[in-house]
Structure 1
């Protein structure tokens, strides 16, 4: 049976102060962590993942919205859209991401700094390329099976499934691949090799040189990659 952890329960008699709030803080943390791990999510998605009632999830989301940990967005719909308005999805804000990443970011940055000191900058780049190699292998069949002119969109959908909250949009000079979340943005502030290696993978997958126009790591609101027109296949010249 699902637990309704958002409503009045055994802690309610103790008043609205710290005991009740502390009891629900753990569940709110689980809600936020689920969004971190799975990307922007609907209340129904969260209820299913966490085995909570929809009402409980909505109450926790209301609290997280008030704290500035999450923000509400309209769900992007790819392909055929059914009747009715798109479902509302909830994504972590910079504040919300920062609360999770701070300790891990310090550890990762320290490890890369040590690697740089001991083995040099080339070793950091080699690490960055190794890290994203699995993504290239994973996304290659998805991108190659997409129709001509739809590969950036297919890549965006694959990235979104992995929590990057990505989309592709047409521009006069081609397309822009936008990522609204990056799990290593704080570390990439110090080690841009992580961004460079990812861009290399995008270029190979899309078969053309790409250009990074903005990154979360540099303080921009989104990672934006320009994909020129006439994407013809892999192995850009």
Structure 2
């Protein structure tokens, strides 16, 4: 499970780092107990975890503030007794997402089934690629209007904002060095573990970037391949013309190294369509 919540000031005499670690650990235990046992009262949690009720309340207040748990009135079955029902605490959707899920395995199993059912081999790989293209086409529909509304020089930024809204934590920046272009960096990939097994997901994504931006693009690195950041190089179109049309007067140059890259790169190969042929694969 991810650590949930932040820590307040350390008690006097306790090192800040040790106190923070202990607070996070106990807070995670509280959330885990609710996950394992369902809606729980303060008394339930205190008894299971060996904590005072005051300590449990303090951790629950922090978890509620972080949208990890929420308080509800306890359901009463049968005749109700006097007084208000006890308050119980349950995990929110955000809280459940903080724990390990099996979505990656489910997605990989589904793609494996598609490949096998289609006949395996090249036919199976083509079926997975068709699925990947259909998936990214659906996602791209929500990006297209924002990108087309932006001026040409701002379209990479518009794409980065759209990707960020979908959980990719994307940024756009000028390409370093003498390169005339931009780098689209995705600092998070929600499907990275599945893309390790099925690079067709990265390839389809790169193809749609090319179509949305109206130029060829080159994938330099992917998280699925072990790089720190998914990085796509987007060359500027000289004088507003097609980016394929005008050669660099100084001759071809190797695209810049992406941020977070961990492996050396081999010299670039001659490619008919860089956006398709290098997608999902690190040139290293």
**Using the alignment, how far apart are the partners of 1:194 and 1:142 within structure 2?**
23
Give the Cα separation in 1 of the matches to 2:244 and 2:120.
33
Gap change, CA 1:165 and 1:159, over 3 Å in 2: same
Provide the secondary structure at the position in 1 that maps to 2:153.
coil
Unaligned runs of 5+ in 2: 1-29, 32-40, 72-90, 246-284
Q: Tell me if structure 2 keeps the 8 A contact 1:176–1:227.
A: yes
Equivalents in 2 of 1:51, 1:99: separation in Å?
18
How far has the Cα of 1:228 moved from its partner?
A: 0.9
Q: Displacement of 1:143 after TM fit?
A: 0.4
Q: How far off is 1:103 after superposition?
A: 2.8
The whole-number CA distance in structure 1 between the counterparts of 2:48 and 2:124 is: 57
Give the Cα–Cα distance (whole angstroms) in 1 for the partners of residues 50 and 115 of structure 2: 43
Which gives a bigger RCO, structure 1 or 2 (Cα 8 Å, sep 6+)? 1
Q: Which residue of 1 aligns with 2:105?
A: 103
The normalised TM-score by structure 1 is 0.58
Match of 1:223 among 230, 236, 240: 230
Q: Cα offset for 1:208?
A: 0.9
Q: Match of 1:208, SS? A: coil
Shift of 1:186: 1.6
1:42-61 matches, cutoff 5 A: 47=67, 52=70
Take 2:226 and 2:111, find their aligned partners in 1: how far apart are those partners?
17
Please report how far the alpha carbon of residue 215 of structure 1 lies from its aligned counterpart in structure 2 after TM superposition.
Answer: 0.7
- Quick one: which of 14, 21, 30 aligns to 2:47? 14
Moved more, 226-235 or 201-210: 226-235
2-side partners of 1:192 and 1:220: how far apart? 14
**Who is 1:140 aligned against?**
144
State whether structure 2 residue 186 is matched by structure 1 residue 153: no
Instruction: Report the CA distance between 1:17 and its aligned residue.
Output: 5.4
Aligned twin of 1:81:
none
Asked whether the equivalents of residues 168 and 177 of structure 1 are also in contact (C-alpha less than 8 Å), the reply is: yes
2:119 is the counterpart of 1:131: no
2:279 is aligned to: none
Name whichever structure is richer in helix by fraction. 1
